[in-house]
Amino acid sequence: MDTTEREDGRQQLDAVSVHNAKQTLLRFLGRAGVGADDAAELIGLVEAGALALAHERVDETGRRGPSAPKGEAYDTGWLDGAQAAADTLGELARRALRDAVASHSPEHSAGARPRVTRMQVERAKVAVVPLYRSFAADSDLDPEVSDQVLGAVLATMDPGRRAAYPGRLAAFVADHRERLERLYARFGPGSPVPVHGRYSLVHSPAGVAVLERLATAPAELRREWDAAELPPAWLDGLTTAWG
């Protein structure tokens, strides 16, 4: 791809080349069976994330001030400029996230959360599987169960929170690791508790997400659970195991 060379000799991508890379990736994802809307959302999240990480880096660097003080006026101007750059990047990151998660489906009514997409479920699975495996080995529970359960979990959130859910899950596990270790040792794979029954979801990676929702939004989870017609015993079992 073409690049633009700056006066200092360094190169960076221009807008045309960035657009070309996005369109190429969309085409490849389409050949793999990923829908255009899902692919666009995924690429948009990567762009928003890159801007958010850049914002954090610039904000952190700006707070430290110049490496060598050069006088009060210079230092004040440097800090003000760094803060302005960080603020601009932060706004660009927020705008990119809004664009990425904007619903492409006209079927949802005003005020209602957009439907949960296959891509959103896949992103949640990518997040929960390694977290689950840090507590338990794979079980024989039907993997389709995870998809159904994660759909109900994600339905409790708006698209922006769905996009940030992997980070929330990681923080939840970090905050409650000892409690989760005890739960999985008592009820999970390798325990005397059978895989099929009221504690089935302790044998599913999706159980990690359900536990996070039980700790954060239990009423909304119960409502979406009932709407999805999932077995009430599964949710009751995890509620008992957790609390």
**pLDDT tens, residue order, the chain (243 aa):** 445 555 555 677 778 878 888 888 888 888 888 888 888 888 888 888 888 888 888 887 767 766 666 777 777 787 778 888 888 888 888 888 888 787 544 454 455 678 888 889 999 999 999 999 999 877 666 677 788 999 999 999 998 899 999 999 999 999 999 999 999 999 888 788 877 788 888 888 999 999 999 999 999 999 999 999 999 999 999 999 998
Helix, strand, coil % over all residues of the chain, rounded to 5: 70, 0, 30
Dig out the tokens for 40 from the structure.
């666009």
Strand partners, 3: 13
Residue with the two structure tokens 């960076």: 12
> Hey, what amino acid is at 227?
A
- Cα–Cα distance measured from residue 132 to residue 201, given in angstroms and rounded to the nearest whole number: 11
Could you tell me the pTM of the whole model? 0.75
Which DSSP string do the residues of 77-126 spell out, in sequence order?
A: HHHHHHHHHHHHHHHHHHHHHHHHHS---TTSPTTSPPPPPHHHHHHHHH
pLDDT for 1 equals 41
What is the chain's alpha carbon radius of gyration, rounded to the nearest angstrom? 22
CA 103, 105, 110, 112 dihedral sign is: negative
pLDDT number for residue 112: 65
Cβ neighbours for 101, distance < 8 A, ≥ 6 positions apart:
41, 44, 45, 159, 160, 162, 163
